[in-house]
Structure 1
C-alpha cells in the first residue's frame, strides 16, 4: 500500500519525473525495524538530500565522469559521517550521489529525487501509523512471551542442575541463557515500537494505558533478567566448588521461573497478579529455609540474587518498592 500510494502521489499528483524513489523510500521505511520507522525515514531523507546537494555542486563545478563520480560518492559519504549519520544515511548519501553524478543531469533531477523521497517517507509514516497501524498489545504479547518463557525455561533447567549437582547441565543452561539474553534486546525494540504506535496513531490511543503499564513492568523485568543471569552463573560456581546445596535453594530458583511465566500471563489477561506474587513469596520461603540449613559463599550470592529477582517481580506486579523489598527480605542500603 505504501509503495502504491507513494508512486501515485509522486507520478500523478505531483507529476514528478523520478517517481521510482518514492516507493523505494516507502518500502525501506516500512521494512525497517518497528521501533525505528521515524528515525529511518529521517535518515533516508537526510542521506538523499546530502547526496543530491553534493552531486549537484560537484558536477556543476567539475563536470560528470568516472573520476568525478568517485569524488561525489566520497564527499557525500564523508558528509554523512561528519554529521554522525548512521549506516542508512551513508548508504542513501552514497547511492544518491552515485546515481546523480553518473547521468547527464540538470539541477531538476536532484530536486525531483529529493521531492520523491520526501513523498515516500511521509506516505510510509501515514500508512504505518494512520492507515494500517500495528496492534501494540499484540506486538507486546508476541515479543515478551517468547523472551519470558525462554528465561523461565533456563531457570528451571538451572534449578534441576543445582538439585542434582550436575555441572554440565548447569554450564549448558548458562550458555543458553546467554543466547537468550540477546533476544531481550529485540524485545526492548518492540516495546518501543508499541509505544510509538499508541502515541502516533489515533486508532490505537486507547491502548496507551496498558502500554504504559507494561513499560513500567518492563523496567523491573529488565533488572530481574540481569539478576537471573547472575543466579545461573553462580549456580555453576556453586556446583564446581562442591558447596552444600540445601533443597530450598534449587526450589527457590524453580519458583521464580514459574513466577516469570505467571507475571506475563496475568498481565496480558488483565487480572490481579495474585498467583505471581504467591510464587514469588514461595521462593523467599524456600530460600530462607536454605539459609537456615546453611549455604557457603557462592550459595549466598545465589540467595541474594533470588531475593533481588523476587523484589523486581513484585514491583512489576504493581507493588511499591518499599513493600516489595520488605516481602523479599531485602535490606535497605
Structure 2
C-alpha cells in the first residue's frame, strides 16, 4: 500500500479548507442584502419602541423584526401574522394564569401546554406555535413588570410593521433571486443531458444509475425555484418600487411550469436508459447526439430564462431539435429506445412551452 506523503496530505487539507472558505464567503455574499435588511429593521424597531412608545429596553421589537424578515424572501407576510398571533396567544394565556396562580415551574408547564394547544387549534404554523410558548415562558418565569404583557405584544407589532416597511421601501430585486434559482435548475438539467449522452456511448450501467440519482435530486432545485418565485411575487405585491417586475415574474412562473414538466420527463428518460443498460440492452447511438444537442440548448436557455419570448433564440434551436426526433430515423427499434425518444419529445415540447409557445403549436414541430 502506498501512503500519501505529508506534503500531499497538507495540500489536500488546504484545498478542502480553501473550498470551504470560498463556499462560506459565497453564502455571505448571496445573503448580504437580507442581512443588511435585518440589521436596519432591528435598529429601527428598537428606536421606535423605546423613543415613541417609551418601552424600557424593548428587546423583543428587534427580535420580531428579524424573525419576520429572516434570510428568505418567502412568506414574510405569513411570518408577520403568525408572530403577532403567537405573541398574542402566549401573552394572553400567561397574563391570565400568572395573575391567578403566580410564577413557578408548573405554571410555565401549564402556560406552554395551553398556549401551544390553542395555536394548533386555530391552525397556526410552527412560528405561531413556538411564539405562543416562548412569550408565555417569558411572562411566567420573570418577575412581573407594569405593562409587561402589553409591551411585549406592542413590540411584536412594531417589529413586524418595521419589517414590512423595510420590505416595501428597501426591497430586494425579486427577479435576481428567481433567476439564480432558475439558472441552477437549467444548468443541472444540461449536465444530466450531457451525462446521459456519455452513458449511451459507454454503455456503463453503473454510471447510468448515478445519472438517475442526480436526476431524481432535481426536485430540490424545482422547490428552490418555487420558493424564490413566491418570495419575489410577495415582494412585488408589497413594494411599490418593485411592481414593474410583475411581468418578468409572470414569465418565470410560466417557465417554471414548463421546466418542471421537462424535468419530470427527462427523469423518466434517464430511468429507462438505466433500466435498459442494467438488463444488457443496447441503445441506438444517435440518441447520444440528441442528448448532447439538448444539453447545448439548455445551456442557451440558461442565459435566456426570464427573457421576453420574442427575444429568445433557444426557441429556434428547440424547433430544430424537435424535427430530429423521429424514432425510426434515430434507430429506435426496441421498446426502451422508443420510450426514451418519446420522453425527449415531451421534454422538447415542455421547454418550448417554457419559452412561451403554445403546446399544440409545439407538438406540430415534431415528426409524425
**TM-score with structure 1 length normalisation?**
0.92
- Residue of 100, 120, 123 corresponding to 1:81: 120
Q: Over residues 278-309 of structure 1, what are the superposed CA-to-partner deviations in whole Å (9 max), with x where a residue is unaligned?
A: 33234334431555523312222211211111
Could you say which residue in structure 2 is the equivalent of 1:43?
82
- CA shift, 1:251, in A, is 2.0
* Aligned residues: CA RMSD: 2.0
Q: Over residues 20-40 of structure 1, what are the superposed CA-to-partner deviations in whole Å (9 max), with x where a residue is unaligned?
A: 111001111121521111111
Count of residues in Structure 1 that have an aligned counterpart in Structure 2:
329
- CA shift, 1:107, in A, is 7.0
- CA shift, 1:277, in A, is 2.5
**CA distance 1:116–1:227, change in 2 (3 Å):** same
Contact preservation (8 Å) 1:18, 1:112: no
Contact preservation (8 Å) 2:41, 2:162: yes
Contact preservation (8 Å) 1:11, 1:19: yes
- Residue of 154, 173, 187 corresponding to 1:149: 187
Where in structure 2 are the equivalents of 1:19-38 lying within 5 Å?
19-38=58-77
- CA shift, 1:223, in A, is 0.9
Could you say which residue in structure 1 is the equivalent of 2:325?
287
CA distance in 1, matches of 2:269, 2:332: 18
Instruction: Please say which of residues 277-286 and 87-96 is displaced more in the overlay.
Output: 277-286
Q: Over residues 194-245 of structure 1, what are the superposed CA-to-partner deviations in whole Å (9 max), with x where a residue is unaligned?
A: 1111222111111211111221121111111111111211110121233332
Contact preservation (8 Å) 1:252, 1:284: no
Could you say which residue in structure 1 is the equivalent of 2:97?
58
Q: Which runs of 5+ in 2 are unaligned?
A: 1-39
SS at match of 2:283: coil
Could you say which residue in structure 2 is the equivalent of 1:224?
262
CA distance in 2, matches of 1:200, 1:276: 33
Instruction: Please say which of residues 281-290 and 198-207 is displaced more in the overlay.
Output: 281-290
Q: Over residues 144-168 of structure 1, what are the superposed CA-to-partner deviations in whole Å (9 max), with x where a residue is unaligned?
A: 1112101211111012101221112
CA distance in 1, matches of 2:328, 2:191: 22
CA distance in 2, matches of 1:196, 1:267: 20
- Residue of 188, 197, 212 corresponding to 1:159: 197
- CA shift, 1:180, in A, is 3.2
Contact preservation (8 Å) 2:74, 2:234: yes
Could you say which residue in structure 2 is the equivalent of 1:309?
347
CA distance in 1, matches of 2:57, 2:95: 16
**CA distance 1:319–1:155, change in 2 (3 Å):** same
CA distance in 1, matches of 2:109, 2:301: 57
- Residue of 165, 173, 176 corresponding to 1:138: 176
Q: Which runs of 5+ in 1 are unaligned?
A: none
For the pair 1:214 / 2:252, whether they are aligned, the reply is yes
